[in-house]
Amino acid sequence: MTIITPGKGSNSIKVRRSRKSANEVPTENEDQIKLSCWLNSKNIRHNANANGAKRTIQAGRKLKAMGMSPGFPDIEIPIPRGKYSGLYIELKRVKGGRLSTEQRDWLVFLRSNNYYAEVAYGFHEAVEIVCTYFGLTKPAA
């Protein structure tokens, strides 16, 4: 398994391998950390939603009372481009990632309100979505 963590600067990441198979598919969290580091390296301001994070029942109740909504996309980039008011990405694991009903509902809602809202299966798809949105050259694989 690959373990990805932010490095000392906002544009750096640390990558290390655990003893698990090199063919193992990255988790959604690993891909999201990698995406956040990549966005930082491009100076693209963004916000990550921690809906899927593990927490106690009490903490979950408090966050719900504070307005956290199930299914809200993982990454928000509040920068308008063309007819869109901003970009939202729901990140899923390359293998086995599935959208919930709440996630589908949020994507439909956002799209109907002039946001570019997409599902990305893994880090590379997420980068392609960001590059398409901003008209950037897609990086080599």
* CATH code of the domain containing 122: 3.40.1350.10
Confidence at residue 141, expressed as pLDDT on a 0 to 100 scale: 58
- Which segment of 20-29, 32-41, 115-124 scores lowest on mean pLDDT? 20-29
Q: Is residue 128 part of a domain?
A: yes
Q: Is residue 125 part of a domain?
A: yes
Q: Is residue 6 part of a domain?
A: no
Alpha carbon distance 136, 26 (integer Å): 25
Per-residue model confidence as pLDDT tens digits over 62-90: 888 888 888 999 999 999 999 999 999 99
Q: Is residue 102 part of a domain?
A: yes
Q: Is residue 76 part of a domain?
A: yes
Q: Which domain holds residue 97?
A: 26-134
Confidence at residue 22, expressed as pLDDT on a 0 to 100 scale: 62
Whole-model pTM above 0.85? no
Q: Is residue 1 part of a domain?
A: no
Q: Is residue 16 part of a domain?
A: no
CB atoms within 10 A of CB 141: 5
Q: Return the H-helix or E-strand segment holding 75.
A: strand 75-77
Confidence at residue 61, expressed as pLDDT on a 0 to 100 scale: 85
- Number of domains within the chain: 1
Q: How does 2-20 read in b/e, with b if 16+ C-beta sit within 10 Å?
A: bebeeeeeeeebeeeeeee
For residue 18, name the pLDDT band (cuts at 50, 70, 90). Answer: low
